[in-house]
Structure 1
Amino acid sequence: MSNRGLTNINYQTIQYCFPNNNLSCTRSIRPEVEYIIVYIFIAVTSVFTVFLNLLVIISISHFKQLHTPTNVLIFSLAVADLIAGLILMPVQGMKLIEPCWYFGEIFCSIFPLILYVVLTASLGNMIIISVDRYIAVNDPLRYPIRVNNYRAIVSIVVNWLFSFIYIFYLLYEFLLYPEMNHTCIGECILSVKFENTILDSIVCLVAPCCIIIPLYVKICFVAKRQAKHLNSVTDKKAKSEKKATRTLGIVVLVYLLCWMPCYLTSLSLGQNENHSLIINVMDWIICMNSGMNPIIYAMFYRWFRLSAKYILTLKIFEPSSEYLNLFPEEK
């Protein structure tokens, strides 16, 4: 088998993923400029996502004022987004342009598990955030009693455990017998039963929409009614909760807009290998959502802009920096 590759009738060079292996898959060679553009885009997007979510994680971890149940949920979401930036986006991005899999069979089995556990956990975080915002707006007087940091942490742990168990169940056969779907070395194709795809669409698309959309519709009605009864003495807390609700509502909406095309594509195209590029693009769009959340925080949360400023200017290393005021208007 020649290492120099083959040439088809359209004069497109065909090479082998592993030239010295007779069982290797083949790969078509793209223009070098295309590789450079895609890899630069992947690198910049991944670094950008990791950097911004690290700012969120450090901010909420370090500053005492941010140790609230809502921010604990944002912390969990930022951790999922950080994993997406570190692992999922680089690999998923490479799959867009590189037909060969160079990371070995073990990682071929593990990567889909990591990918879908993180995405499912992110969706679970969105549902919990929606419930949190509903309680905060609909029952503000009892919110501190009904929602606290301990309950937020428990809900996060349950969410991640459920995500792992659920995805392990869906990918059980693929994880145990990955070689069943491989026809040559250098191939990594995820194959899921159609009935599992239907189940996943119900659990991760239909059910979340049936929970999140009615909650935010109810929140909008309640917030509009409350706005008529606010006064300058008592409205600071209510305005703060409404602003947080609006911001997190945008986060949830953007996430669903990124999430829905993936499931609609999977249902319409199935697991057809000829449509693998389209499915990879849909997965990449979901991963890119991980870099959007901190941008939304920066646009609507002054505390995030201030905490990022303190972090980047290294003020967090000063004594008692964890007690710096991130809400100066409340002084």
Structure 2
Amino acid sequence: REPCSLHGFETPVRMQLCCESVNVSCIRSSWSNSIRISMYIFMVCIILATVVGNLTVIISISHFKQLHTPTNFLILSMATVDFLLGFFVMPCSMVRSVEHCWYFGDFFCKIHSSMDIMLSTASIFHLSFISIDRYYAVCDPLRYKSKINTFVIVVMVCVSWMVPAAFAFGMIFLDLNLRGAEKIYNHVHCAGGCFLIFSETSGIVASIVSFYIPGFVMLCIYRKIYSVAKKQARSINAISRKKMQFEMKHNIFFCRERKAAKTLGIIMGVFLICWSPFFFFTATNPFLNYVIPPVLIDALVWFGYLNSTLNPIVYAFFYMWFRRALKIILLGKVFQQDSSRTHLFSD
């Protein structure tokens, strides 16, 4: 089926359809123009903040040589995920959320749904690998560089992209999410719509693979990191001042790594808070006979999108290097010769 036209906006009837030329068409939202405009403004602000914020992270880590560390390369890859979500996925979701219509055709609906699942899953995969990186940095610092080298980081990044891509595109294009939910899909399906429906089995599998298993792993790892960091902090406080002078460099390194672990732990917490409601209802809605209103599900999706907006804000709040890099970028000094060698923090 070809994408439906936009001439439904001009139809003067009380109940406007997404595709006026099709008999079985989805019904366009009945919200007033003031509500529509407010929603568009709010969502455009989220999209712009997501794109600009994560693009700044990408430029900062890519440009400044001092930021070329294993952890930052993982952060760079995760910022790319968030950037793509804001640039490609969120604008189309905005139109669908406000108008309750899909004007881009069935094939692109599958592409959009696949990318949506892939990028949200890729985010939590990145966070899982970042938690592993922080575990070795804080709990086994002497062997950190041998354990987390360039090859290991490349493997982590590849897995974080390829596994979610295979899972998401395979599920959507093979209609695995509809196995066992054909009746409800045929009941709600209409021309000019793009619905993502999960059966009981696919809803549980998608939630477990994309959220609950990696989320549980991250919580366990960060709990171990917190416990070890607490013990090391007590040990440092117990060292005499004389001995402290000899171990000052090691202690500064430990404090920096512990702060990085704490910051990334906050990022993980933000992710869990933003996405846990959506994945909870995705798993339970099929068992409740799909009684949860689509408007609520759509709102939870945008609450999950908000995680991609908040990540750069967390960097700006906790990382001095990000604030300094942002200042250099905004002032245009990034185009100066040897600006990539600028020291953003003391070694």
TM-score (norm 1): 0.91
CA distance in structure 1 between the aligned counterparts of 2:315 and 2:11, rounded to whole angstroms: 51
Out of 252, 275, 282, the position equivalent to 2:300 is: 282
Out of 191, 203, 214, the position equivalent to 2:209 is: 203
Deviation per residue, 1:109-142 (Å, 9 max, x gap)? 1110000000010010010011111111110011
Structure 2 gaps of 5+ residues are 1-7, 237-243
Deviation per residue, 1:1-50 (Å, 9 max, x gap)? x97454xxxxxx21121234444333242111001100011111101110
Matches within 5 A, 1:45-60: 45-60=46-61
Deviation per residue, 1:193-240 (Å, 9 max, x gap)? 321111122222331232111111111110011112333513111111
Tell me, what secondary structure is at the counterpart of 2:16?
strand
AA paired with 2:290? N
Structure 1 residues 114-123 or 96-105, which shifts more? 96-105
Distance 1:128 1:226, change over 3 A: same
Distance 1:103 1:284, change over 3 A: same
Structure 1 gaps of 5+ residues are 7-12
- Identical amino acids, percent of aligned pairs: 38
AA paired with 1:293? N
Structure 1 residues 22-31 or 54-63, which shifts more? 22-31
**Match for residue 68 of structure 1?**
69
Alignment pair present for 1:260 and 2:266: no
AA paired with 2:316? A
Alignment pair present for 1:19 and 2:20: yes
Tell me, what secondary structure is at the counterpart of 1:27?
coil
Tell me, what secondary structure is at the counterpart of 2:15?
strand
Deviation per residue, 1:132-165 (Å, 9 max, x gap)? 1111111001101111233212211122111111
**Does the CA-based 8 Å contact 1:80-1:118 persist in structure 2?**
yes
**Does the CA-based 8 Å contact 2:124-2:211 persist in structure 1?**
no
Out of 309, 323, 327, the position equivalent to 1:309 is: 327
**Match for residue 9 of structure 1?**
none
Alignment pair present for 1:226 and 2:242: no
CA distance in structure 1 between the aligned counterparts of 2:151 and 2:337, rounded to whole angstroms: 28
CA distance in structure 1 between the aligned counterparts of 2:87 and 2:316, rounded to whole angstroms: 21
Residue 88 of structure 1 deviates from its aligned partner by: 2.0
Matches within 5 A, 1:7-46: 13-46=14-47
Q: How many residues align?
A: 321
CA distance in structure 2 between the aligned counterparts of 1:18 and 1:255, rounded to whole angstroms: 37
AA paired with 2:227? F
Distance 1:28 1:67, change over 3 A: closer
**Match for residue 241 of structure 2?**
none
CA distance in structure 1 between the aligned counterparts of 2:157 and 2:283, rounded to whole angstroms: 29
CA distance in structure 2 between the aligned counterparts of 1:64 and 1:113, rounded to whole angstroms: 35
CA distance in structure 2 between the aligned counterparts of 1:171 and 1:20, rounded to whole angstroms: 27
**Does the CA-based 8 Å contact 1:135-1:143 persist in structure 2?**
yes
Tell me, what secondary structure is at the counterpart of 1:83?
helix
CA-atom RMSD in angstroms: 2.2
Alignment pair present for 1:125 and 2:126: yes
